[in-house]
Copies of this chain bind each other. A is one copy, B any other.
């Protein structure tokens, strides 16, 4: 399994990804799911991967090979918009699925794979896309300013309640780390290190990047602060009214 999430905020984009890959609980390995494509001062594109590793790795490698051996067509480093970059990534994923998928499916191996693609190209605003296993894709809007892939459910409530588009990148990154903590407490197939990257709007820089290992004191501190804060918050919630004030017929 995997957990990756990306947030689209007014001040830029925030990305987070775990690094665990598993085939069953007795075969786990560390593969990082964040890949950065950069052209200094002109574009930064970030891809987060989820699903079958042989599919996502092959697609990303083919995207990279285009940089060197591609005649005449666009690549992630030359295309004029993020939309076209999502199309290139989706088409490459389709090529891999067509070639590899049937061999996996006939052995009941899950060939699903998906990507989050975000970043900024000079002349555009920062943009964020979700590329599905079939190569089609959607873009994040201000109504739903984040995407998740992989084991998404445990970490969703905090994002739903805390992330608003006016949040600072640093505050969003902290909340994203709590979302990872919530996920990793319940799904052992999501694992360290966690990669966090903040892309400031118009900065075209990958400077704000952290790799958080299992023994990182920050992660433990955040998890403890969050848990203690929640206990305190829960204790202070408005109490229930006197019992029986609602409709309670029909249960016994």
Contacts and interface: CB of A to CB of B under 8 A. Distances in A.
Interface of A: 32, 34-38, 153-158, 160-162, 164, 170-171, 173-175, 178, 182, 185-186, 193, 195-197, 206-213, 216, 218, 221-222, 225-227, 229-231, 233-241, 243-248, 250-252
Contacts of A234: 158, 162, 171, 174-175, 178
Contact of A243 (B210, B222, B243, B245): B210
Contacts of A154: 153-154, 156-157
A162 B230 contact: yes
Stoichiometry, copies per complex: 2
A247 B216 CA distance: 11
A6 to B, nearest CB: 14
Binding site secondary structure of chain A: mixed
Given A153-B153, A157-B185, 6 more contacts: A154-B156, A161-B227, A209-B244, A209-B248, A211-B246, A222-B238
A170 B236 CA distance: 12
A80 B165 CA distance: 58
27 contacts: A32-B250, A155-B157, A156-B186, A157-B157, A157-B158, A157-B186, A160-B182, A160-B185, A161-B227, A162-B230, A175-B237, A193-B246, A193-B247, A196-B240, A197-B251, A206-B252, A207-B244, A208-B243, A210-B240, A210-B243, A213-B247, A218-B238, A218-B241, A221-B238, A222-B238, A225-B238, A229-B233
